[in-house]
Structure 1
Amino acid sequence: MSPALPEGALRALGRTEGDADTLGLLVRDQDTRRFVLLRALLDAAAQAPGTVCPPELRHRVAADWALLEAADHADRAAARSVLLYPLVGPWALRCLHGLTGAAPGPELRTDLDHLGALAVAAAIRARLSFTARLTTRGPVLSLPTVGALDVRPGVVHISSGKGELTLRQAGAAEIVVRLDSGTARPGDPRWRSTRTLPPLLPGAAPVPMDDLDPYRTAGGSPEPHGLSAAVRVGGPGRRSWAQAWEGVAAQLRTGGHQRLTEAAVLLRCLVPLAPPPGSGRAGGSAAHCSGTRRDAFGAVLSSPPATPAHFASTLVHELQHTKIAALSAMTPLHHEGPDARYFAPWRPDPRPFDGLLQGAVSHAALADYWQRCALGADRADQRDLAWSEHARRREQVGAVLPVLAGSGALTPEGRVIVNELISLYHRLAEFPPPTGHQARARAYVRTARVIWQQRKDSKRL
């Protein structure tokens, strides 16, 4: 077993669980990887040829890094809340690829300019007095975790001191934003503070609902992955999200004590997506899409949830992907290749083995969550919905367990995960759903397999 992860912790993750200490191991490893990535970026900028990173840009990177170090020295926790913010990961990877690639694209300078925005955000959160000069090439200047300013492309001068943030740009009236404990309060319509959702547990941090960060879908459009586009959330949308969020903690608690723990420990930001086709203008139906990104640990991308129960189920589902991806970074779970050739009843397209394993863990967690919701429901309609969801998720997991268990490419750690997954699958049978739900779930999976096989056969012709 991996020396960094005790067997008990590994077994808990295989059961889709994990207490705060186990989850903390994943968090610390991911945080360490972020610092290594940032160090690699700084070194790459220093070593890149002048054609890639000209001297003036290299000097700008060094100055921005110095401000980051000053913020870290003044208030380490505040500064690192910016450096470890999930959406810094996609930005850092883009910069590193641009600095080390054979042909850096024209966006590299824009990407490196964003380091200044990160440094300013960290300095604001650390309550430093400072002056800075940022360059923006678009209509919005984003300060991650703090807010965003509508601007014209060009230079923006920023100063902070005496509880105020002042932003100036030639040809425009200056903006003064009041600061409170390192966060900004709006005082001008051109400024939008990053919105947050209340903590899930007492003492935990608020959860940013980030519709401002320019790197929230960096690395390509989300549409090819079955996701809607990232959107700005207006007043009515904010109220809908807030109302759904109010019931999430209670729903997670009903769905298992570990569900609330994993959300409080792992969730670092929500990125709102547009409602998918078929969900209506307000996203009020059950039609929904969500996802996570390996390069943005702690971020969940989601379209508007229909109900608190569905909002909670989205977190349960996506945070399993977060856990297994982080675990896989610590220790390999298998040696299968990347070929997409496996049937997964939750997807219309073939999946690679890694996607099959992650999907099985996520759907097993959903089966467990919905079963607990069904057993704890007071109303018949809530109970009926929960049993329906449970039966389908468990049947989907059962359809792929033989493939996972029969793989000769599992590592010892991967074998523990799959064995615990099998144990969970059988434990869920102790409280079976009503017969009608079970029959419909089996028919659903059989139909999904037939359709998948037909598509597979048609591609051979």
Structure 2
Amino acid sequence: MIPSVLTERALSELGRTAGGPDTLALLQRDQHLRRLLLLRAILDAVDAADPEVCPGPLRDRLREDWALLEEADRELVADVPAHGEGRGVRLSPARTVLLYPLVGPWGRSCLRALGAVPASHAARRRQAATVRRGLAHFSTLAAAAAVRAGVPFSVQLTTTEGALHLPSLGALRTAEPGEEAVGVVHRDGRTVLRRRGCADVVVHDPIGGAGSGVSVATHSRADSWAPAYSLPSLLPGSGSVPLDDLDPYRMVHGDLRSQGLSGPATLDGAGRERWLRSWSGVLAMLRLGGEHRVTEVVALLRCLVPLVAPAGAEGQGRAAGNCSGTRREAFGAVLSSTPPTPATFAATLVHEVQHAKLAAVSDMVVLHREGPQERYFAPWRPDSRPYDGLLQGVYSHVALADFFQRCALTAAARPGQREAAWREHARYREQVRVTLPVIAEADSLTSCGRRLVDQLAGECERMGENPPPRGARIRAEAAVNTARALWLRSRAPQEGASS
């Protein structure tokens, strides 16, 4: 029986890699609750922390920051339409800031540092420095929420690695690589940033909608101020999408590279324009693949994090020179190098939103009880995958096969577009055809997992009613066979060594 928190209807929709507004809202609400519980855990961990790691002044400052957040929570309620919980959702500025995807990586990092048991005095010093930086970032979250609420305040914040980042607003660049105190005063629609020996930097409050181009959240005449940028909304009233190349927690401890991804990029004007050109055609491409793809992207995409273009990404089953990913603790964020075309961008969003959806489902219910051993063949990767990784890949590839088949079958597709869509459909469906039985045969699937996998199998059967052209199918089968042969060859030395 499916737990009441995840209805049978919701799991059935998600098993088809779809999800109506109510189902998507359910995932978002659950992730919001988990974020608030994470913040509660951080507050408790600060109270319980060793005074050497989190001394009294830090605890006192945390309480002051929390009081400022509470004031921002009371002062103003902002409309946040079409993000997660449906149109017309009303979130306070404090919650809008705290529920931003990249607050999740900060929270996990901060909680880990507070709970660590150092093995040496040097390790304790490093732990204390990490906690200090983490709580300094919390101060900036509180200040950003107060700015958005129009709450007057005067605080002292601390730079990290040469910048003071005010989440969702922008960042003050400094020439000093270490920590530096910055006085911040907000009143009457403007924020004044004061550093010793430097001219004041005056930042004016958010200036409104995105219009038809890349928009800025704030504006200042000072060259040292870098505003936060956003891409225009996909649908009228759905809200702009931050293009975040500023947040210090968009990459933590090299975690992107551990996923085979490149590092974070900092965009210039030309770089932002390239993102905008691809973004401008995304809605039309998503609609070719079904209106439900538009629905899920509008509901779940909360920010885009630019990555540096990788070298040799073809081997990862990605478009040449393009890579993308998600982070489980940053629900709603998609990390990507600059998508070269609207078609690539749309496929990237379809792909990554599936990972976010399945990760959220896995937080709500147990889908399987397989261990972390990396022993399964995945045609889209050269290395072996754990069962959970294989399930994630199958889920996203079923969605991509469906997306490209719908693109190929729609009357709106141009001939060249249709041919390319059939090639992509054939590739993804063949990859799923050889891996889905492995997923389905596992005894470790729970009842919820079995229901999900059965729905995926049903989707594959449905797609079989409209097969791709013979040539596309033959090429896809050959590619999978080649990938399997290379995988078996790479495992032979390992198996020989262990025998």
**TM-score using structure 1 length:** 0.97
Corresponding residue to 2:98 among 58, 83, 91: 83
Would you say the 8 A contact 1:121–1:144 is kept in 2? yes
Which SS does the other structure have where 1:337 is aligned? coil
Are 1:101 and 2:116 matched, yes or no?
A: yes
- Which of 175-184 and 85-94 deviates more? 175-184
Distance 1:436 1:359 in 2: 25
Distance 2:320 2:276 in 1: 18
**Offset of 1:254 from its aligned partner?**
1.2
Partner of residue 351, structure 1: 385
Corresponding residue to 1:439 among 474, 487, 490: 474
**Offset of 1:220 from its aligned partner?**
2.4
**Partner amino acid, structure 1, of 2:44:** D
Which SS does the other structure have where 1:148 is aligned? strand
Corresponding residue to 1:287 among 313, 321, 324: 321
**Offset of 1:187 from its aligned partner?**
2.5
Corresponding residue to 1:117 among 116, 133, 140: 140
What pairs up with 1:20-35 in 2 under 5 angstroms?
20-35=21-36
Distance 1:117 1:386 in 2: 45
Corresponding residue to 1:130 among 144, 147, 153: 153
Are 1:158 and 2:181 matched, yes or no?
A: no
Which SS does the other structure have where 1:222 is aligned? helix
Residue by residue over 1:350-389, the C-alpha shift from the partner in whole angstroms, topping out at 9 and shown as x without a partner, is: 1111111111010000001111111225322211111111
Are 1:419 and 2:445 matched, yes or no?
A: no
How many residue pairs end up in the alignment? 458
**Partner amino acid, structure 1, of 2:415:** A
Are 1:168 and 2:203 matched, yes or no?
A: no
Residue by residue over 1:64-109, the C-alpha shift from the partner in whole angstroms, topping out at 9 and shown as x without a partner, is: 1111111111125222111000110010111111111102523221
Partner of residue 209, structure 1: 243
What pairs up with 1:381-400 in 2 under 5 angstroms?
381-400=416-435
- Which of 186-195 and 417-426 deviates more? 186-195
Distance 2:335 2:65 in 1: 29
**Partner amino acid, structure 2, of 1:91:** W
Distance 2:239 2:320 in 1: 29
Would you say the 8 A contact 2:378–2:384 is kept in 1? yes
Distance 1:137 1:329 in 2: 32
Distance 2:144 2:22 in 1: 30
**Offset of 1:6 from its aligned partner?**
1.2
Which SS does the other structure have where 2:448 is aligned? helix
In structure 1, stretches of 5+ residues that fail to align are: none
Distance 2:144 2:297 in 1: 25
Partner of residue 57, structure 2: 56
Corresponding residue to 2:441 among 385, 406, 411: 406
Which SS does the other structure have where 2:205 is aligned? strand
Distance 2:392 2:220 in 1: 41
Distance 1:257 1:362 in 2: 17
**Offset of 1:137 from its aligned partner?**
3.4
Corresponding residue to 1:190 among 198, 219, 224: 224
Over the residues paired in the alignment, what is the CA RMSD in angstroms?
1.6
Would you say the 8 A contact 1:286–1:305 is kept in 2? no
**Offset of 1:143 from its aligned partner?**
0.9
Which SS does the other structure have where 1:184 is aligned? coil
Partner of residue 139, structure 1: 162
- Which of 123-132 and 327-336 deviates more? 123-132
Distance 2:242 2:167 in 1: 10
Distance 2:37 2:154 in 1: 28
Would you say the 8 A contact 1:221–1:229 is kept in 2? no
**Structure-2 change in CA distance of 1:262 and 1:56 (3 Å):** same
**Partner amino acid, structure 2, of 1:36:** L
Which SS does the other structure have where 2:172 is aligned? strand
**Partner amino acid, structure 2, of 1:192:** A
Query: Percent identity of the aligned residues?
Result: 51
Corresponding residue to 2:107 among 69, 88, 92: 92
Distance 1:186 1:265 in 2: 32
**Offset of 1:278 from its aligned partner?**
4.7
**Offset of 1:233 from its aligned partner?**
0.8
**Partner amino acid, structure 2, of 1:391:** A
Would you say the 8 A contact 1:127–1:181 is kept in 2? no
Corresponding residue to 2:492 among 449, 457, 461: 457
Distance 1:135 1:91 in 2: 16
Residue by residue over 1:16-74, the C-alpha shift from the partner in whole angstroms, topping out at 9 and shown as x without a partner, is: 00011101000000000000000110111112121110111111111111111111111
Partner of residue 16, structure 1: 17
Are 1:39 and 2:48 matched, yes or no?
A: no
**Offset of 1:221 from its aligned partner?**
4.1
What pairs up with 1:211-250 in 2 under 5 angstroms?
211-250=245-284
In structure 2, stretches of 5+ residues that fail to align are: 78-90, 119-123, 209-216
Corresponding residue to 1:296 among 316, 327, 330: 330
Distance 1:181 1:40 in 2: 35
